[in-house]
Structure 1
């Protein structure tokens, strides 16, 4: 079934389709996966490229279109396909599909589209991409049935003895698996995967057990007050000039390193302080500019 055929159906039929897919009906599941495929392709490409810094120099990109690269014949980068798989699992999980109620006439595609473009969705992807919920490379999984769990425990800085005890494995076997993992990552120049960077979430932490996964309801399912707030933010954002938007996006939303932002401003010869050339702008001046812009944004929102 084509996407436009599903979106043209009455909302109750789309609800039934979502419930059938959640209940494991194969045809319904395939139709839902096909429905959301364009959104996932776009977002996986957008997110992955945003944080592709070193990989593009060492691996062949699997995105469509791929990231331009200078190395030919290198190993395939796993992050593009892995991001697609993560987004498919998140958007089309049973829990997600069963939550679809078609409020205010929202179709299934619109419901999933709004979630895929929400901040909690972006934050969850970053938690997975950089945090503990990392994709275990397939070449690690192929080493041993327990290699995936050993890999995750190594990332947590667990000792070999603790790993062996946790997994109920002989110490000698555990040491061999650890050595194989380290050797393979070294050969593939991906030893950094054992040392994940700290990722700061832009979403608020919760204390009542509510997860971000439960918070990112589609716009159609939000209260009028929340929709009004988002519209105010959108209107205020539109009043910022392109340089202000660029700095907020780079430093706050994308969490880029300040030196890379300064390099970009210098390359475009854009000054953020009167009387100071772009090439002479300091990190302190950049952060001060961001602070002023955030205050300006808050002021325009009332």
Structure 2
């Protein structure tokens, strides 16, 4: 009998685990084949999360644009412009989850595969918060059609959002004012054509304390004063939220997903089961993902709710 045939199941698992770590590190170092394999592994996770996040924050976009998700949220007229947030979200998630820094951190601890490692990150609260930061302003998305105008177009786009003067932009980028003015005009024209001129609007804070005095508002702005939002939230409710935030991370990624999908978003059990099967995630030891039933899913939800209640009581 050959040596390879004598390998125990544990040794085989360790061998596969080492191959996974090697694959991740090769991808991080720029190996094209390894990178394509990682991208293929992560596609179902990103595809699902993109649809998941986009649907939650689609709002009025579904009435104005054509959805680009694999399973479109709505089917608008073919004459409508394509919504850019689906593809942009996919690109952001791919960049975040498969960055060289993140892949080099993968060590295969406790036999975890690279797919499980990235799945855990993609279903974490910090990942969700980073995506919201990018989606809603602190990390502004520069449309690809703007970036395609020139090497400096993205920087000029951000400068226009910040209401910088053209002479200042030209000086900072080492270009002539004529060049910058022409580029600014091109940006405005293309945004107008695509009905996206609002993307140049900066994030603003409306003062409610000086609504009757523009002069006082102007003086406050000069002194660098801003209003701080105040929410009269019930102290007990605020304390409960803080407790929930502390204990949430003690749940497994699968428990977090099921709770969020079935209770917060009120998704149907069929949709949740479909997602679990597609990602090959089992919720019960010894039962394959494809064999998981609705009854087992509801039992898992009840058990997770009970565990969460215990954690809240102990916090």
- The TM-score range, normalised by the shorter chain, is 0.5 to 0.7
Whole-angstrom CA distance in 2 between matches of 1:56 and 1:65: 13
Match of 1:74 among 66, 75, 80: 80
Alignment of 1:1-302 (within 5 A): 10-197=16-203, 230-231=250-251, 245=264, 300-302=313-315
Q: Deviations over 1:202-250 (max 9, x none)?
A: xxxxxxxxxxxxxxxxxxxxxxxx9996239x79x97xx96xx579xxx
Q: Over alpha carbons, which structure has the higher Rg? A: 2
- The CA deviation at 1:154 is 1.2
Given the superposition, is the C-alpha separation of residues 104 and 228 from structure 1 closer, same or farther in structure 2, using an over 3 Å criterion?
A: farther
Given the superposition, is the C-alpha separation of residues 198 and 124 from structure 1 closer, same or farther in structure 2, using an over 3 Å criterion?
A: farther
Whole-angstrom CA distance in 2 between matches of 1:9 and 1:195: 54
Structure-2 residue corresponding to 1:223: none
Whole-angstrom CA distance in 2 between matches of 1:159 and 1:228: 46
TM value normalised by structure 1: 0.63
Whole-angstrom CA distance in 2 between matches of 1:138 and 1:53: 22
- Structure 2: gaps (5+ residues): 1-12, 206-245, 267-308
- The CA deviation at 1:196 is 4.7
- The CA deviation at 1:183 is 2.5
Whole-angstrom CA distance in 2 between matches of 1:70 and 1:299: 44
Whole-angstrom CA distance in 2 between matches of 1:196 and 1:182: 15
SS in 1 for 2:251: helix
SS in 2 for 1:85: helix
Q: Which runs of 4+ in 1 moved over 6 A?
A: none
Whole-angstrom CA distance in 2 between matches of 1:108 and 1:158: 44
Q: Which gives a bigger RCO, structure 1 or 2 (Cα 8 Å, sep 6+)?
A: 1
Given the superposition, is the C-alpha separation of residues 298 and 149 from structure 1 closer, same or farther in structure 2, using an over 3 Å criterion?
A: same
Whole-angstrom CA distance in 2 between matches of 1:136 and 1:8: 43
Given the superposition, is the C-alpha separation of residues 132 and 153 from structure 1 closer, same or farther in structure 2, using an over 3 Å criterion?
A: farther
Q: Deviations over 1:246-291 (max 9, x none)?
A: 79xxxxxxxxxxxxxxxxxxxxxxxxxxxxxxxxxxxxxxxxxxxx
- The CA deviation at 1:187 is 2.5
Whole-angstrom CA distance in 2 between matches of 1:152 and 1:83: 19
Cα contact 2:65–2:76 (8 A) shared by 1: no
- The CA deviation at 1:62 is 0.8
